[in-house]
Amino acid sequence: MKPPLRIKSVGTKVSAAEFAALEERAQSAGLTLSEWVREVLLSAPAEPGPEMGEVVLAELLALRTLFLNLQFRRVAHP
């Protein structure tokens, strides 16, 4: 069975060093550069998962705690 006909393309510019790194990754996966890029792009999550929101919330709470500790330290020890 033939793979679906691909008639659209996606492109980007990269530096020579970036291109070499991408080619190396593709070769180590046993794929052509086009196949490897297609596979990586299509396997990427469409949206950030809920864990990303949890990380952001944790960071905000940590910053809030630091801020409050600094504020109360100033009030207690002027």
Structure tokens at 66: 């630091």
Q: Where are the domains of the chain?
A: 13-44, 47-78
65-77: average pLDDT: 81
Amino acid at 61: L
Candidate ranges 2-11, 24-33, 38-47, 62-71; pick with highest mean pLDDT: 24-33
- What are the φ and ψ backbone dihedral angles of 5, each rounded to 5 degrees? -70, 125
Do 26 and 35 touch, CB atoms closer than 8 A?
A: yes
Q: Quick check: 22 and 37 in contact, CB under 8 A? A: yes
Residue 28: pLDDT over 90: yes
User: How large is the average pLDDT for residues 28-42?
Assistant: 94
